Amino acid sequence: MKYFKFLAALLFLIVSQTSIAGWLDTSGKVTGIVTYMGKETILVTLSSPGVNVAECLSKNTFAISSAMSAEGRSRMYAMLLSAQATGRNITVSYNEAGSCEAWGANQNVYRRIVRLR
């Protein structure tokens, strides 16, 4: 019986921790887009730095992940270029925890973009 209570409590803690995480939104004008020949990651800087994510080192730059499909990266890149060219604001969504994009040897550098609008 004690074993069952322990497992139930552990399950409750795990489920409650994952339900806390959510998306954060930052809106602003695109002030910079950087791509590199040897990397699939696209870096984006907005006029507003947004909310800091504790695990990620960069406070001002967001990343379109190299783990995303080429088509997904292309769509996001096109939206960012359009917003930059027209001077429109764009909203970047990213996770408040556990979603940083690696850069070089460091695993937690840029906040990974999960949605643009």
* Per-residue model confidence as pLDDT tens for the chain (117 residues): 555 454 445 445 454 444 445 899 999 999 999 999 989 999 999 999 989 998 999 988 999 999 999 999 999 999 999 999 999 999 999 999 888 999 988 989 999 999 999
Q: SS3 string of 40-61?
A: CCEEEEECCCCCCCCCCCCCCE
29 within some domain: yes
Q: Is 2 within the bounds of a domain? A: no
3-state secondary structure of 99: coil
- pTM for the whole structure: 0.78
Report if residue 91 sits inside a domain.
yes
Q: How many domains does the chain have?
A: 1
Residue-range definition of the domain harbouring residue 64: 22-116
Q: How far apart are CA 73 and CA 65, in angstroms?
A: 8
* Domain assignment of residue 12, yes or no: no
| 4, part of any domain | no
CA distances from 74 to 13, 20, 24 (A): 38, 31, 22
- Give domain status of residue 15, yes or no: no
Q: Count, in order, helices (H) and strands (E) of the chain.
A: 2, 6
65 inside domain:
yes
**For residue 1, what pLDDT is reported?**
59
